Structure 1
Amino acid sequence: MSNLTRWNPVNEFEDLMNRYNRMFGLTRSGGEREGKDLFSRSDWAPAVDIKETPEAFTIEAELPGMSKEDVKVTVHEGVLSIQGERKSEDETKDKKHHRIERFYGSFLRRFTLPENVDENSVKANFKDGMLTLTLQKAEPKEPKAIEVDVQ
Protein backbone atom coordinates (compact mmCIF):
# COMPACT_ATOMS: atom_id res chain seq x y z
CA MET A 1 0.00 0.00 0.00
CA SER A 2 1.47 3.41 -0.97
CA ASN A 3 1.32 6.54 1.14
CA LEU A 4 -0.62 9.40 -0.37
CA THR A 5 0.30 12.96 0.51
CA ARG A 6 -2.32 15.63 0.06
CA TRP A 7 -0.91 18.55 -1.93
CA ASN A 8 -1.42 21.88 -0.21
CA PRO A 9 -0.52 24.77 -2.55
CA VAL A 10 -0.76 27.33 0.28
CA ASN A 11 1.97 25.58 2.29
CA GLU A 12 4.13 25.36 -0.81
CA PHE A 13 3.67 29.09 -1.46
CA GLU A 14 4.49 29.94 2.17
CA ASP A 15 7.66 27.84 2.03
CA LEU A 16 8.69 29.56 -1.21
CA MET A 17 8.09 33.03 0.27
CA ASN A 18 10.00 32.10 3.45
CA ARG A 19 13.00 30.99 1.37
CA TYR A 20 12.81 34.18 -0.73
CA ASN A 21 12.65 36.38 2.38
CA ARG A 22 15.56 34.54 4.03
CA MET A 23 17.63 35.00 0.86
CA PHE A 24 17.07 38.78 0.94
CA GLY A 25 17.46 39.14 4.70
CA LEU A 26 13.79 39.82 5.41
CA THR A 27 13.27 37.11 8.04
CA ARG A 28 12.20 37.88 11.56
CA SER A 29 14.73 37.72 14.31
CA GLY A 30 14.59 34.62 16.46
CA GLY A 31 13.91 32.41 13.45
CA GLU A 32 10.21 32.13 14.19
CA ARG A 33 8.02 30.80 11.42
CA GLU A 34 6.24 33.52 9.50
CA GLY A 35 3.43 31.47 8.01
CA LYS A 36 0.10 33.19 7.64
CA ASP A 37 1.16 36.65 8.82
CA LEU A 38 3.81 36.99 6.11
CA PHE A 39 2.10 39.99 4.50
CA SER A 40 0.97 41.67 7.70
CA ARG A 41 4.30 41.81 9.53
CA SER A 42 5.88 45.15 10.32
CA ASP A 43 9.58 44.52 9.68
CA TRP A 44 11.00 45.31 6.26
CA ALA A 45 14.15 46.67 4.68
CA PRO A 46 14.23 49.30 1.94
CA ALA A 47 16.33 48.56 -1.17
CA VAL A 48 19.67 50.38 -1.09
CA ASP A 49 22.33 51.15 -3.73
CA ILE A 50 25.85 52.16 -2.68
CA LYS A 51 28.11 53.91 -5.19
CA GLU A 52 31.66 55.23 -4.94
CA THR A 53 33.45 58.02 -6.77
CA PRO A 54 37.02 59.23 -6.13
CA GLU A 55 35.57 61.99 -3.89
CA ALA A 56 32.62 60.41 -2.08
CA PHE A 57 30.29 57.51 -1.36
CA THR A 58 26.60 57.77 -2.27
CA ILE A 59 23.86 55.71 -0.64
CA GLU A 60 20.44 55.71 -2.28
CA ALA A 61 17.49 54.15 -0.42
CA GLU A 62 14.07 53.58 -2.00
CA LEU A 63 11.37 54.80 0.38
CA PRO A 64 8.20 55.13 -1.74
CA GLY A 65 5.15 56.54 -0.05
CA MET A 66 7.19 58.14 2.72
CA SER A 67 8.06 61.73 3.54
CA LYS A 68 11.32 63.07 4.93
CA GLU A 69 9.64 63.47 8.34
CA ASP A 70 9.24 59.66 8.48
CA VAL A 71 13.00 59.05 8.11
CA LYS A 72 15.90 59.59 10.54
CA VAL A 73 19.60 59.34 9.58
CA THR A 74 22.32 59.17 12.23
CA VAL A 75 26.07 58.53 12.35
CA HIS A 76 27.53 57.16 15.57
CA GLU A 77 30.96 55.58 16.14
CA GLY A 78 31.52 54.76 12.47
CA VAL A 79 28.04 53.34 11.84
CA LEU A 80 25.48 55.06 9.59
CA SER A 81 21.86 54.25 10.50
CA ILE A 82 18.76 54.86 8.40
CA GLN A 83 15.52 54.28 10.26
CA GLY A 84 11.89 55.16 9.87
CA GLU A 85 8.35 53.96 9.56
CA ARG A 86 5.96 53.57 6.65
CA LYS A 87 2.40 53.80 7.88
CA SER A 88 -0.35 51.78 6.21
CA GLU A 89 -3.30 53.67 4.85
CA ASP A 90 -6.43 53.83 6.98
CA GLU A 91 -9.21 51.33 6.31
CA THR A 92 -12.36 52.73 4.75
CA LYS A 93 -15.72 51.00 4.60
CA ASP A 94 -16.02 51.26 0.81
CA LYS A 95 -12.61 49.73 0.09
CA LYS A 96 -11.73 46.04 0.16
CA HIS A 97 -8.12 44.85 -0.05
CA HIS A 98 -7.58 41.88 -2.35
CA ARG A 99 -3.81 41.77 -2.09
CA ILE A 100 -1.20 43.66 -0.06
CA GLU A 101 2.40 43.20 -1.17
CA ARG A 102 4.01 46.38 0.15
CA PHE A 103 5.67 46.23 3.54
CA TYR A 104 4.56 48.61 6.28
CA GLY A 105 5.93 49.38 9.70
CA SER A 106 9.32 50.35 11.01
CA PHE A 107 12.71 49.61 9.48
CA LEU A 108 16.36 50.03 10.40
CA ARG A 109 19.38 49.71 8.09
CA ARG A 110 22.93 50.06 9.43
CA PHE A 111 26.16 50.46 7.47
CA THR A 112 29.69 50.38 8.86
CA LEU A 113 31.54 53.31 7.33
CA PRO A 114 35.02 52.87 5.88
CA GLU A 115 37.81 54.67 7.70
CA ASN A 116 38.33 57.12 4.83
CA VAL A 117 34.90 58.76 5.28
CA ASP A 118 34.50 62.17 6.91
CA GLU A 119 31.61 61.47 9.31
CA ASN A 120 30.86 65.19 9.63
CA SER A 121 30.31 65.57 5.88
CA VAL A 122 27.13 63.48 5.53
CA LYS A 123 24.52 65.28 3.45
CA ALA A 124 20.98 63.98 2.95
CA ASN A 125 18.45 64.73 0.21
CA PHE A 126 14.93 63.31 -0.01
CA LYS A 127 12.97 63.61 -3.25
CA ASP A 128 10.18 61.52 -4.82
CA GLY A 129 10.58 58.68 -2.32
CA MET A 130 14.35 58.42 -2.81
CA LEU A 131 16.73 59.18 0.06
CA THR A 132 20.21 60.10 -1.20
CA LEU A 133 23.09 60.33 1.26
CA THR A 134 26.47 61.72 0.21
CA LEU A 135 29.50 60.95 2.36
CA GLN A 136 32.69 62.81 1.44
CA LYS A 137 35.95 60.92 1.67
CA ALA A 138 38.47 62.18 4.21
CA GLU A 139 42.01 63.10 3.33
CA PRO A 140 44.29 60.18 4.07
CA LYS A 141 46.14 60.70 7.31
CA GLU A 142 49.88 61.08 6.93
CA PRO A 143 51.82 58.60 9.03
CA LYS A 144 53.59 60.37 11.87
CA ALA A 145 57.27 59.78 12.41
CA ILE A 146 58.20 59.79 16.05
CA GLU A 147 61.84 60.27 16.98
CA VAL A 148 63.00 58.26 19.93
CA ASP A 149 66.10 59.25 21.81
CA VAL A 150 68.33 56.24 22.29
CA GLN A 151 70.38 56.42 25.47
Structure 2
Amino acid sequence: MNMIKRTPSMFVPNTMDKFFDKFFNEGLENGANTFNPRTDIAETEKSFEIEVAVPGFNKKDFNIDLNDGLLTISGERKFEKEKSEKNFYSIQTEYGSFKKSFQLPDNIVSDKIEASYENGILSLVIPKDETKKLVSKITVK
Protein backbone atom coordinates (compact mmCIF):
# COMPACT_ATOMS: atom_id res chain seq x y z
CA MET A 1 0.00 0.00 0.00
CA ASN A 2 1.36 3.42 -0.94
CA MET A 3 0.87 6.29 1.48
CA ILE A 4 0.33 9.80 0.17
CA LYS A 5 1.91 12.59 2.17
CA ARG A 6 -0.51 15.41 3.04
CA THR A 7 0.02 18.84 4.44
CA PRO A 8 -2.43 20.28 6.97
CA SER A 9 -5.18 22.30 5.38
CA MET A 10 -8.53 23.11 6.89
CA PHE A 11 -10.01 23.99 3.51
CA VAL A 12 -9.74 20.50 2.05
CA PRO A 13 -12.61 18.54 3.63
CA ASN A 14 -12.31 14.80 4.04
CA THR A 15 -15.94 14.25 3.01
CA MET A 16 -18.47 16.02 0.83
CA ASP A 17 -20.76 16.38 3.87
CA LYS A 18 -18.04 18.29 5.68
CA PHE A 19 -17.56 20.50 2.61
CA PHE A 20 -21.24 21.42 2.49
CA ASP A 21 -21.34 21.94 6.27
CA LYS A 22 -18.41 24.35 6.02
CA PHE A 23 -19.88 26.11 2.99
CA PHE A 24 -23.35 26.70 4.42
CA ASN A 25 -22.36 27.24 8.06
CA GLU A 26 -19.16 29.23 7.64
CA GLY A 27 -18.86 30.40 4.05
CA LEU A 28 -15.84 29.99 1.83
CA GLU A 29 -13.95 33.04 3.03
CA ASN A 30 -13.68 31.78 6.62
CA GLY A 31 -13.50 28.07 5.85
CA ALA A 32 -9.72 27.88 5.65
CA ASN A 33 -9.09 28.70 9.31
CA THR A 34 -12.29 27.73 11.10
CA PHE A 35 -14.14 24.63 12.18
CA ASN A 36 -17.51 23.87 13.71
CA PRO A 37 -17.26 21.69 16.83
CA ARG A 38 -20.14 19.38 17.74
CA THR A 39 -22.43 20.86 20.38
CA ASP A 40 -25.09 19.33 22.61
CA ILE A 41 -27.71 21.53 24.28
CA ALA A 42 -30.02 20.21 26.99
CA GLU A 43 -32.54 21.63 29.44
CA THR A 44 -33.20 20.40 32.94
CA GLU A 45 -35.71 21.65 35.45
CA LYS A 46 -33.15 24.04 36.95
CA SER A 47 -30.73 24.86 34.12
CA PHE A 48 -29.68 24.81 30.49
CA GLU A 49 -26.55 22.80 29.69
CA ILE A 50 -24.25 23.23 26.72
CA GLU A 51 -21.45 20.79 25.87
CA VAL A 52 -18.95 21.59 23.10
CA ALA A 53 -16.61 18.83 21.86
CA VAL A 54 -13.21 20.50 21.50
CA PRO A 55 -10.45 17.97 22.26
CA GLY A 56 -6.85 19.11 22.48
CA PHE A 57 -7.59 22.59 23.82
CA ASN A 58 -6.37 24.19 27.03
CA LYS A 59 -8.67 26.11 29.36
CA LYS A 60 -6.95 29.37 28.41
CA ASP A 61 -7.82 28.82 24.71
CA PHE A 62 -11.51 29.66 25.28
CA ASN A 63 -13.31 32.99 25.35
CA ILE A 64 -16.89 33.04 26.67
CA ASP A 65 -18.97 36.24 26.58
CA LEU A 66 -22.56 37.08 27.43
CA ASN A 67 -23.87 40.31 25.91
CA ASP A 68 -27.59 41.23 25.88
CA GLY A 69 -28.64 37.59 26.19
CA LEU A 70 -26.30 36.37 23.43
CA LEU A 71 -23.81 33.79 24.70
CA THR A 72 -20.73 33.52 22.49
CA ILE A 73 -18.17 30.75 22.87
CA SER A 74 -14.98 30.98 20.83
CA GLY A 75 -11.53 29.44 20.79
CA GLU A 76 -8.52 28.62 18.69
CA ARG A 77 -6.29 25.60 18.31
CA LYS A 78 -3.12 26.07 16.29
CA PHE A 79 -1.31 23.36 14.36
CA GLU A 80 2.19 23.08 15.78
CA LYS A 81 4.84 21.12 13.99
CA GLU A 82 7.31 19.30 16.15
CA LYS A 83 11.00 19.88 15.59
CA SER A 84 11.31 16.32 14.26
CA GLU A 85 9.31 17.44 11.17
CA LYS A 86 7.00 14.46 10.92
CA ASN A 87 5.71 13.32 7.55
CA PHE A 88 1.94 13.30 7.93
CA TYR A 89 -0.04 10.75 5.93
CA SER A 90 -3.40 11.76 7.33
CA ILE A 91 -4.59 14.71 9.40
CA GLN A 92 -8.15 14.44 10.63
CA THR A 93 -7.83 16.59 13.74
CA GLU A 94 -9.44 19.98 13.32
CA TYR A 95 -7.31 23.07 13.83
CA GLY A 96 -8.10 26.75 13.60
CA SER A 97 -10.70 28.85 15.34
CA PHE A 98 -14.37 28.43 16.11
CA LYS A 99 -17.14 30.72 17.26
CA LYS A 100 -20.62 29.66 18.36
CA SER A 101 -23.39 31.94 19.58
CA PHE A 102 -26.62 31.09 21.41
CA GLN A 103 -29.53 33.40 22.19
CA LEU A 104 -30.46 32.66 25.79
CA PRO A 105 -33.98 33.06 27.18
CA ASP A 106 -34.83 35.80 29.68
CA ASN A 107 -35.23 33.41 32.60
CA ILE A 108 -31.51 32.76 33.31
CA VAL A 109 -29.24 33.85 36.14
CA SER A 110 -26.37 35.34 34.15
CA ASP A 111 -23.97 35.88 37.05
CA LYS A 112 -24.14 32.20 38.08
CA ILE A 113 -23.13 30.62 34.73
CA GLU A 114 -20.43 28.01 35.26
CA ALA A 115 -17.94 26.75 32.67
CA SER A 116 -15.59 23.77 32.96
CA TYR A 117 -13.32 21.85 30.60
CA GLU A 118 -12.57 18.17 31.08
CA ASN A 119 -11.68 15.29 28.75
CA GLY A 120 -12.08 17.43 25.63
CA ILE A 121 -15.55 18.70 26.51
CA LEU A 122 -16.28 22.34 27.34
CA SER A 123 -19.37 22.31 29.59
CA LEU A 124 -21.52 25.28 30.52
CA VAL A 125 -24.31 25.19 33.07
CA ILE A 126 -26.71 28.14 32.81
CA PRO A 127 -29.04 28.23 35.82
CA LYS A 128 -32.66 29.28 35.43
CA ASP A 129 -34.22 32.06 37.49
CA GLU A 130 -37.14 30.28 39.11
CA THR A 131 -38.94 33.55 39.82
CA LYS A 132 -39.22 34.34 36.10
CA LYS A 133 -41.62 32.17 34.17
CA LEU A 134 -41.68 32.35 30.40
CA VAL A 135 -45.02 30.56 30.11
CA SER A 136 -48.31 32.17 30.96
CA LYS A 137 -51.94 31.26 30.36
CA ILE A 138 -54.02 33.64 28.29
CA THR A 139 -57.78 33.58 28.66
CA VAL A 140 -59.90 34.18 25.58
CA LYS A 141 -62.67 36.77 26.17
TM-score, normalised to structure 1, is 0.68
**Among 100, 104, 109, the residue aligned to 1:113:** 104
Q: Which has the higher contact order (CA 8 A, sep 6+)?
A: 2
Distance apart, 1:72 and its partner CA: 1.0
- Alpha-carbon distance in 1 for matches of 2:108, 2:19: 32
1:102 match: secondary structure: coil
Q: State the Cα deviation string for residues 103-148 of structure 1 (Å, max 9, x = none).
A: 2111101011012222222111111221110000113448xxxxxx
The verdict on how the C-alpha distance between 1:95 and 1:129 changes in structure 2, with shifts beyond 3 A counting, is: same
- Alpha-carbon distance in 1 for matches of 2:129, 2:48: 11
Runs of at least 5 residues in structure 2 that lack an aligned partner in the other structure: 1-11, 134-141
Runs of at least 5 residues in structure 1 that lack an aligned partner in the other structure: 1-13, 35-40, 143-151
**Stretches of 4+ aligned residues off by more than 4 angstroms:** 28-32
The verdict on how the C-alpha distance between 1:139 and 1:70 changes in structure 2, with shifts beyond 3 A counting, is: same
Count of residues paired in the alignment: 120
Q: Give the RMSD, CA atoms, in angstroms.
A: 2.5
**Among 125, 128, 138, the residue aligned to 1:134:** 125
TM-score, normalised to structure 2, is 0.73
Q: Who is 2:15 aligned against? A: 17
